[in-house]
Amino acid sequence: MAYNLLKGKKGIIFGALDEKSIAWKVAKIAKEEGAEFVLTNAPLAMRMGEINKLAEECNAEVIPADATSVEDLENLFTKAQEVLGGKIDFVLHSIGMSPNIRKGKSYGDLNYDWFLKTLDVSALSFHKVMQVAEKQDAINDWGSIVALSYIAAQRVFPDYTDMSQAKAVLESIARNYGYRYGKAKNVRVNTISQSPTKTTAGTGVGGFDVFYDYADKMSPLGNASAEDCANYCITLFSDLTRMVTMQNLMHDGGFSSMGISEDIINMIQPK
Ligand SMILES: NC(=O)c1ccc[n+]([C@@H]2O[C@H](COP(=O)([O-])OP(=O)(O)OC[C@H]3O[C@@H](n4cnc5c(N)ncnc54)[C@H](O)[C@@H]3O)[C@@H](O)[C@H]2O)c1
């Protein structure tokens, strides 16, 4: 059911790779809620993914941008404002990638060039997006910017390796830029800390199936799906959450407040 929550709003959605992507679901629901937006992804991902199918379904233009390239981001924000005919109201940063995870490196054997790449793609890109937007004065007053995070920013999940640091930096950037953008333009900046989700980025993490099941059994509501996450993103883009900023918002079915659950106890010590 649609509520017209984003009627008249213009957005930029980063990170829709295929139908499983969280950003894909956000785009579909944003469309239903009345938003107009452009879709963007790294040029390479565009060739691998199915973003043009989504663009057709949402009647949206695709503007390629490597989120680590300031030049690409400048072009993106300029073109997006031309295409949409005005300033931007919401931005979704749904980007994550670690070469160390891709290559199966353990935490004690990280390649540091790749570590820097992880930080650049998964965290600094968020700062770059906002710095470019601010310099172009591309965001409307009371705009909303959201990035997606994971609880490994605060707790240890061994196979998440250098992405844990990237998420900690991402969340810190949200707080610090949130202060700056809030003072300047009443723009709010938040991260959503999402349950494990079966997407390309998610399932690329070693042992994903185990920690997906573990989180599901720990959380009283079970894991939050990509659709649930997309719905939450939409509320943060809407005018109903105008005073929420500089937060890392747990969207995890209750996982982050749990110590142990009966389901886990029964697994370890069956009656
Ligand atoms: N899947 C999970 O379990 C989970 C849990 C919590 C948070 N997240 C976060 O959600 C976000 C979206 O991931 P997803 O699960 O939908 O997976 P996904 O693989 O569908 O999306 C990741 C996206 O990042 C894009 N990307 C990578 N490098 C880029 C670059 N240089 N420039 C621009 N885009 C680039 C990819 O092309 C892809 O579209 C990520 O930040 C991820 O860390 C995922």
The per-residue pLDDT for 45 is 84
The per-residue pLDDT for 1 is 78
CA of 267 to the centre of ligand 1 (A): 31
Residue whose Cα lies nearest atom 1 of ligand 1: it is 202
Distance CA 227, CA 220 (A): 18
DSSP 8-state secondary structure symbol assigned to residue 197: -
Residue 250 placed within a domain:
yes
181 assigned to active site: no
Q: Which domain holds residue 165?
A: 10-208+224-259
Q: Are strands 10-14 and 139-149 parallel, antiparallel or unpaired?
A: unpaired
Which residues are paired to 61 by β-bridges? 38
Residue 267 placed within a domain:
no
Residue 3 placed within a domain:
no
Residue 2 placed within a domain:
no
160 assigned to active site: yes
- Is-above-0.85 flag for pTM? yes
Q: What ranges make up the beta strands (E) of the chain?
A: 10-14, 36-40, 61-62, 88-93, 139-149, 188-194, 248-251
**Digits of tens for pLDDT over the chain (271 positions)?**
799 999 999 999 999 999 999 999 999 999 999 999 999 999 988 877 699 999 999 999 999 999 999 999 999 999 999 999 999 999 999 999 999 999 999 999 999 999 999 999 999 999 999 999 999 999 999 999 999 999 999 999 999 999 999 999 999 999 999 999 999 999 999 999 999 999 988 888 888 999 899 999 999 999 999 999 999 999 999 999 999 999 999 999 999 999 999 999 999 998 8
Query: Is 167 annotated among the ligand-binding residues?
Result: yes
The per-residue pLDDT for 260 is 96
Domain count of the fold of the chain? 1
Residue 83 placed within a domain:
yes
Residue 142 placed within a domain:
yes
CA of 173: how far to CAs of 52, 119, 146, 197, 210, in Å?
A: 31, 12, 11, 23, 30
Residue 246 placed within a domain:
yes
CA of 270 to the centre of ligand 1 (A): 37
Give Cα 96 to chain centroid, integer Å. Answer: 8
Distance CA 261, CA 255 (A): 10
The per-residue pLDDT for 132 is 98
Catalytic-labelled residue, pool 3, 107, 150, 212:
150
| Residue to probe by mutation, ligand 1, list 12, 22, 197, most atoms within 8 Å of CB | 22
The per-residue pLDDT for 48 is 74
Q: The domain spanning residue 76 has which CATH number?
A: 3.40.50.720
Residue 103 placed within a domain:
yes
